[in-house]
């Protein structure tokens, strides 16, 4: 019968397959980008640009009208970690990628490790542009040496979004200025209103990293020719212990994924009352909890010690010239325009909700106005102040994907009471080491 045929046939699969795979062999890849001379070709060029900022096609259209000799085609893709990085990495491995791409700060190092970035420091205009950007954003693009590997696009200085009405109801009249006060507020809030003060998102490892950033707990150090892994630092453990206590005492919602409809429903019905988040988050709340208009306000992120002014950053992207580009000078020119031209910045803010990395962005009319949803508060004053306080020394590792993965897997356990956030750091530290070693990167002890 057929089944017997199938059984017999399947039994022979490995043999046949092995013999079908004759020889093989792999070739070496790699080679570092060099800061070679960077001159425009003087010819008409066409560039491709990968981005997932909504409305970016309209910004690029503006460029194309003004620059007939450098025409840019936009490829709108899913967000980086939703598949685009994969696609770009694969393309690098295979030697096919676009000229430019949006790349988040935390992934720059990974791209450099895969030999995906061009050092554009020698390209016209790049060196002079340093002063136009928030210090830390420019610092991030240097990746520990003298090169410039991308142009900062936007950033995510963090502050505290909170439901003023619920806080008032619980008798919390001034927003908590320290994390200790935040903890006390969480208890008060839970008792008075039944609401959680915030949610602990399992997947947003970069949110947690933003909080580590504020504490000065850099995840890595690029130490000469070696990478030092400091994921499990004492400072990081302090942050972990703090949030572990919030979880243990049931003061934060543990079953709400970030950016999920559930979370939005919780914001809408008042069962979650605040969100330590980035500047770009203002539209997330506004658009997804529209019926709570006028009830939210923004305050500085709580501090670890009274009187401090440390800020954290969550997210933000750069525009990077990829190593496969034949026209780095033109690509760099476009990237600079995209991220410094006032008209472009205004459009990006309007259509894509970006908080610009360029300091000139703070003067955008849209960022100076009071926002109706936040009761008319000029919330960007808070973020502008925070942007100036973000630690410039924070460093990402070249294998952040694995570090993040280990973190969010650890969060899963911690949120289920099968481990703690401190365990998470330990696991993430060793996972980071392993993955660095798998990439052949020298790791300091």
Partner 1 sequence: MATVIEPATADPSAGAPARRRTGRPGRSNRAWIGFVLPFLVPFVLFYVVPICYAIGQSLTKTERTGGIFGEATTRFAGLEQYGRVFSDPGFREGVGRVLLFGVVQVPVMLGFALLLALLLDSTAARLNRFFRIAYFLPYAIPGVIAALMWAFLYSPQLSPIVKALDDGGIGIDFLGSGTILWSIANVVTWTYTGYNMLIIFAALQAIPQSVYEAAKVDGAGALRTAWSIKVPLVLPALVLTAVFSIIGTLQLFTEPVVFRAISTNVPSDFTPNLLAFNTASANNYPLAAAMSVVLALATFILSSTFLRSTSKRAGL
Partner 2 sequence: MSGSLAQRASRAQASARQDGRRSTTDSPLAIGIAMVLLIIAAVYFLVPIYWLVVNATKTQPDLIGSNGFLFSTWNLGRNLSDLFSRSDGIFLRWGLNSLLYAGLGAAVGTFLSAMAGYALAKYSFRGREALFTLILGGVLVPATALALPLFLIFARVGLTDTYWSVFLPSVVSPFGVYLSRIFAAASVPDELIDAARLDGASEWRVFVTVGLRLMSPALVTIFLFQFVVIWNNFLLPLIMLRSSELWPITYGLFSWQSQVSRDPSLQILTVTGSLVSVIPLIVTFLALQRYWQAGLTAGSDR
209 binds, among partner 1, partner 2, none (CB under 5 to 8 A by kind): none
What torsion do the CA atoms of 325, 330, 336, 342 make, to the nearest 10 degrees?
Answer: -130
Partner whose footprint covers residue 284, from partner 1, partner 2, none (CB < 5 to 8 Å by kind): partner 2
Q: Are 132 and 358 in contact (CB under 8 A)?
A: yes
Residues 126-185 that bind partner 2 (CB under 8 A): none
Which of partner 2, partner 1, none binds 405 (CB below 5-8 Å, type-dependent)? partner 1
- DSSP tag of 104: E
| The token pair that represents 426 in the structure block | 């330990």
Q: Tell me the closest approach of the beta carbon of residue 389 to partner 2, in angstroms.
A: 25
| Alpha-carbon gap, residue 247 to 251, rounded angstroms | 6
Q: Dig out the tokens for 6 from the structure.
A: 């199938």
CB of 210 to partner 1, least distance (A): 18
Query: CA 100 to CA 118: how far, in whole Å?
Result: 10
Q: Tell me the sheet residues that pair with 350.
A: none
- Give the one entry of partner 1, partner 2, none that residue 69 binds, where binding means its C-beta sits below a cut-off of 5 to 8 angstroms depending on kind: none
- Interaction with partner 2 in 214-233: which residues (CB under 8 A)? none
State the minimum distance, in angstroms, from the CB of residue 358 to partner 1: 27
Identify residues 238-297 at the interface with partner 2 (CB under 8 A).
259, 261, 264-265, 268, 280, 283-284, 287-288, 290-291
Binding mask 349-388 vs partner 2 (x if CB under 8 A, - otherwise)? ---xx-----------------------------------
Q: What is the 3-state secondary structure (H, E, C) of 340-352?
A: HCHHHHHHHHHHH
Pairing outcome for strands 45-51 and 100-104: parallel
Each residue of 359-384: b (16+ CB within 10 Å) or e?
Answer: bebbebeebeeebebbbebebbebbb
Q: Tokens 């142009």 sit at which residue? A: 151
| Of residues 261 and 440, the one with the C-beta less far from partner 2 | 261
* CB 7, min distance to partner 2, A: 11
In whole angstroms, how close is the CB of 290 to partner 2 at the nearest point?
6
Using CB under 8 A as the binding criterion, the count of chain residues that bind partner 2 stands at 47
CA 156/CA 137 separation, integer angstroms: 10
352 interacts with, out of partner 1, partner 2, none, CB within 5 to 8 A per kind: partner 2
Q: Does 62 bind partner 2 (CB under 8 A)?
A: no
Q: How many CB atoms lie within 10 A of CB 152?
A: 26
Q: Residue 139's binding partner, choosing from partner 1, partner 2, none, with beta-carbon cut-off 5 to 8 A by kind? A: none
* Residue 94 partner contact from partner 1, partner 2, none using kind-dependent CB cut-offs of 5 to 8 Å: partner 2
Distance of CA 1 to the CA centre of its chain: 58
Q: Does 87 bind partner 2 (CB under 8 A)?
A: yes
CB of 52 to partner 2, least distance (A): 7
Residue 117 vs 170, nearer CB to partner 2 = 117
Place of tokens 């936007």: 154
CA distance 242 to 246: 7
Is 71 a binding residue for partner 2 by CB under 8 A? The answer is no
Q: Is 65 in the site for partner 2 (CB under 8 A)?
A: no
Cβ proximity to partner 1: between 380 and 396 the closer is 396
Q: What's the angle, vertex CA 172, arms to CA 170 and CA 173, rounded to 5?
A: 130
Nearest approach, Cβ of 437 to partner 1 (angstroms)? 10
- Gap between the Cα atoms of 347 and 370, Å rounded: 19
| Smallest separation, CB 77 to partner 1 (Å) | 15
Q: Among residues 87 and 401, whose Cβ is nearest to partner 2?
A: 87
Alpha helices (H) in 38-83, listed in sequence order: 56-66
């Amino acid at each position: 019968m057929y089944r017997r045929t199938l059984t017999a046939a399947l039994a022979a699969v490995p043999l046949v397959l092995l013999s079908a795979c004759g020889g093989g062999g792999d070739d070496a890849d790699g080679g570092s980008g060099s800061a070679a001379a960077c001159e425009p070709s003087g010819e008409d060029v066409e560039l491709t640009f990968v981005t997932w900022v909504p409305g970016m096609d309209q910004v690029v259209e503006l460029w194309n009208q003004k620059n007939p000799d450098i025409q840019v085609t936009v490829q709108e893709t899913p967000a980086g970690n939703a598949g685009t990085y994969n696609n770009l990495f694969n393309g690098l491995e295979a030697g096919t990628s676009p000229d430019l791409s949006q790349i988040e700060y935390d992934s720059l190092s990974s791209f450099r490790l895969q030999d995906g970035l061009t050092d554009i420091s020698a390209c016209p205009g790049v060196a002079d542009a340093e002063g136009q950007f928030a210090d830390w954003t420019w610092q991030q693009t240097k990746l520990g040496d003298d090169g410039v590997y991308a142009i900062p696009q936007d950033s995510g200085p963090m502050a505290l979004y909170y439901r003023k009405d619920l806080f008032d109801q619980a008798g919390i009249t001034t927003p908590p200025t320290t994390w200790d006060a935040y903890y006390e507020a969480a208890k008060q809030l839970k008792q008075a209103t039944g609401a959680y003060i915030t949610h602990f998102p399992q997947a947003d490892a970069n949110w947690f990293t933003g909080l580590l950033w504020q504490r000065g707990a850099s995840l890595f150090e690029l130490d000469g020719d070696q990478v030092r892994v400091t994921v499990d630092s004492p400072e990081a453990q302090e942050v972990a212990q703090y949030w572990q206590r919030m979880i243990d005492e049931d003061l934060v919602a543990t079953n709400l994924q970030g950016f999920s409809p559930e979370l939005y429903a919780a914001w809408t019905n008042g069962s979650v009352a605040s969100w330590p988040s980035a500047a770009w988050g203002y539209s997330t709340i506004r658009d997804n909890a529209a019926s709570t208009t006028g009830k939210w306000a923004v305050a500085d992120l709580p501090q670890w010690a009274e009187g401090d002014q440390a800020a954290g950053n969550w997210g933000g992207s750069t525009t990077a010239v990829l190593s496969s580009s034949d026209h780095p000078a033109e690509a760099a020119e476009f990237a600079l325009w995209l991220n410094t031209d006032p008209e472009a910045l205004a459009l990006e803010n309007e259509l894509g909700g970006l908080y610009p990395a360029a300091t000139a962005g703070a003067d955008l009319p849209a960022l100076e106005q009071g926002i109706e949803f936040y009761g008319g508060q000029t919330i960007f004053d808070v973020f502008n102040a925070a942007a100036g306080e973000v630690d410039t020394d924070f460093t990402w590792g070249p294998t952040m994907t694995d570090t993040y993965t280990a973190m969010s897997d650890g969060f899963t356990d911690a949120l289920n009471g099968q481990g703690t956030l401190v365990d998470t750091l330990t696991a993430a530290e060793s996972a980071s080491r392993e993955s660095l070693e798998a990439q052949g990167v020298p790791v300091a002890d």
